[in-house]
Structures are given as C-alpha cells and as structure tokens.
Structure 1
Amino acid sequence: MTASPPPALPDERLVTGAARLAVRYQGLFSPETVQRLIVDSYERLAEHAHVRTHLVVLAEHLAAERLEALVHVKGAPGVGLPRVLFVCSHNAGRSQMAAALLAHRAAGHVVVSSAGTHPAETVEPLVALVLTEVGVHAPDAFPKPLTDEVVQAADIVITMGCGDACAIVPGRRYLDWPVADPEGAPVPVVRKIRDEIDAHITELLDSLPGT
C-alpha cells in the first residue's frame, strides 16, 4: 500500500527545520515522518499561542524532542541514562521548575523533559527568577504539550497537579508530587514551592543509580 503524503506545511519556514531534522535522523526516520511530526508539533503549539513569532523555532525543538523519544522507544527503554518526565497542567510553573532543578543537579546523568496536559502560552515569569536565585538557568524553556512519545520513552513519570490526565504506560514508574501551583503567587510563595520541589528531587536522586 502506498504511504500517504506528508501534510502541507502550515508555515513555509518549517521547511528548513524539517530538512535539518531529516539529516540528523537519517537512517532512523524518513523525511516524510519528520515532516509529519514537525507539522503536528507546530499545530499543537499553535492551539495555545496568541503570538506566533517564535512558533517555527519552537516546533523544531518540540519535534526534535519527540524524535529523540521515539529513538529511545524503538531501541531499549530502561537502558542507558534514566529518563524522567515531569507533567503538570500548564507546563508553565511546577514541571518547568522541577525539570530545570533536576537537570542542574543531575549534571548530565539523567535525561529530563517536561510537558503539560493543557500547556500555557509562556512560562511563569517568577519561575525564571526563583531558579536564577539558586544558580539554575533555563533560557530555552517553553510550555510543551504532552505527547505519547515522551510518555513512552520515560522511565519515571512524575505528575504534579494534573490529576489523571497523564497516560499510563505499563512498566513505567509513576510518582505524584502534590505541589501547589505557583501561577499568580507572590515571590515568597514561589520560592517555597521551588524549595519543596528541590526536596523531592533530592529524594529522587537518592533513588536513581549512578546519580
């Protein structure tokens, strides 16, 4: 049966990003598969975007993360560095802080990602502030939709206030950290949330081999 053609690009500037990803994953995924994924990533991000200035760049970043997750799923999940996925409702506060803190403290020994069941348009501004205060920087962070690939690739899925909206994949370890939502909270409260998340991360790192 003839494969269906890839969907039309919603923005012609996606051609460049799709070409870059096709070269990077040559031999693993066809250019048509890459194009479908970058179009889907663009459309998912566009659903929640009021300003579309950076959507092309963000779509390429999201598509690359999804392709990398697929590589892991096609290989041997559970082998190599542990992969941790943080999920909250908007991927604008708690899960962003948790991902940044774990990536900083694990120093390359953990593959970290985050996503939201209903992603916001931007990361909460105070999140960057309180992270910078403890020497953690996440300049490229942006809210991402939760996709099947990243859930399937994760060894540990940590939910943070998103209820039961996260898909369950057999064989994965699931944790729930009931942390308050920093949206609209004053700086002292956001700092307290950061410190609470960091305490959870200490426990998580103690449970992971080689970290």
Structure 2
Amino acid sequence: MSTDRFAIVREDLHRRYGQYFYARTIDDLLDEKIAEARSHATVETFLPVTVEREVSEILEERAGARGRSGTARPEVLFVCERNAGRSQLASAITSQAVGDRVFVRSVGLNPTGGIQPEVLQVLEERGIPYAHLYQKEIVPRTVHRANVVVLMGVDEIPGIPGDRVERWDIADPAGQPVEKVREIADDIEAHVKELLVELGKANYAAQA
C-alpha cells in the first residue's frame, strides 16, 4: 500500500473537518484507524476508501454533536510554474488572512529548486507562518474541484478542476532581490483581499 494514498485521505479529511477539529485530532484518529485496518487486512487495495469512510463517520458524528456539519470549505488553489515563489506567497498570505475558513492550496507545474529563500524571508518579516510550506506538483487527486483556481505566470490552463479560473499578472520573484519580493508580496496581498471580498470573506480580508 502506498503511503501517498493515505496522504490523500488525510488531505481530504483536513479539507472537510479542519475548521472544526485540531489537525492533531484528525491525524491521530486517522492513524489509529489505519493501524486497526492494516492489522487484520489481507489485501490493502481498498483500505484508503474504507478507512476514510470510517473516520468521516466518526468526525461527522462529533461535528453534528456540536451543531456543525462536515461540509467542505470554499477552496482556492494557487498555481505557478515552480511552486517556489508566487503561489507560495499567495497561499501563505491567504491562509493568514482567513485562518481555517477557506481551504488554501498551491501547486506548481514543474516544482523544482525549493522555495525561494527571499520568499520565506518576506513571510517571516510579515509574521506569516511558513514552516508547513513545501513544493507540490499536480498529481491525481492532489487538487479537488476548487471554487477558484488562480494562475500566475502560467500561459495555458492546466487540467485542474475549478468553478472559476483567474489570471493574476504578478511579477516572478525568481532571481529578484528581497526588496522586489516585498513589492511582489504587497501586490499579491492586494489581489488576495479583492478575492476574499468576492468570496464573501470581506471581514477576514480586512484583518490581513
């Protein structure tokens, strides 16, 4: 059984229930059920499906007891060529602005070279967490059907499901000094605030 298949289950669960439960709560429950399922399974082909169903039922019941539902949050997906600069800035800034009320992802068409140090420096200057950021490529089910797919520096629309596609004309921070990266971050933040207003998250945009 590929670990990645359970990683996809984990992402799905965080997407649906991350606004209701701590990430550790979801992870611990999932890990427990994976271990239980593997302990008596002779064939693991369908374990991700069965485990996800069981964990979802438990979390749904817990959420319902609190008067909540596991309805998926709105999702925004940021896409650039390498997932090293613009998309990372956009996802981090958006997450800081709205917390867990919007599910935010970023991917790259050809993620290589690591996240730019200047990008991480600018995020640190702004007090925006970045330890969780890493480069991601587009693979099956890495992306869900997002409410909005934002393309930055991508000429052709990739095969990414989305209700709406936007193109942001944002300069590429690759090879730029940190002063220029700060300007790019300001530009991205302005675009993010406009998007959050359109998504009905104006109050949270105002806090960014």
RMSD (Å) for aligned C-alpha atoms:
3.0
Cα distance in 2 between the residues matched to 1:153 and 1:165: 14
Decide whether the 8 Å contact of 1:85 with 1:150 is kept in 2: no
Are 1:173 and 2:184 an aligned pair? no
TM-score, normalising length: structure 2: 0.63
Structure 1 residue runs of 4 or more that deviate by more than 6 Å after TM superposition = none
Cα distance in 2 between the residues matched to 1:22 and 1:182: 43
Instruction: Please point out which of 149, 156, 160 is paired with 1:157.
Output: 149
1:105-184 equivalent positions in 2, closer than 5 A: 105-169=97-161, 172-184=163-175
User: CA offset at residue 186 of structure 1?
Assistant: 0.5
TM-score, normalising length: structure 1: 0.62
Decide whether the 8 Å contact of 1:100 with 1:138 is kept in 2: yes
Task: Structure 1: give runs of 5+ residues left out of the alignment.
Answer: 1-5, 10-18, 36-67, 69-78
Identity within the alignment, %: 35
Cα distance in 2 between the residues matched to 1:182 and 1:203: 21
Matching residue of 2:45: 32
Instruction: Please point out which of 96, 99, 104 is paired with 1:104.
Output: 96
Decide whether the 8 Å contact of 1:87 with 1:166 is kept in 2: no
C-alpha distance 34-196 of structure 1, shift in aligned 2 (>3 A): farther
Instruction: Please point out which of 157, 174, 199 is paired with 2:190.
Output: 199
* Higher mean displacement: 173-182 or 144-153: 144-153
Task: Structure 2: give runs of 5+ residues left out of the alignment.
Answer: 4-29, 38-42, 49-55, 57-70
Matching residue of 2:34: 23
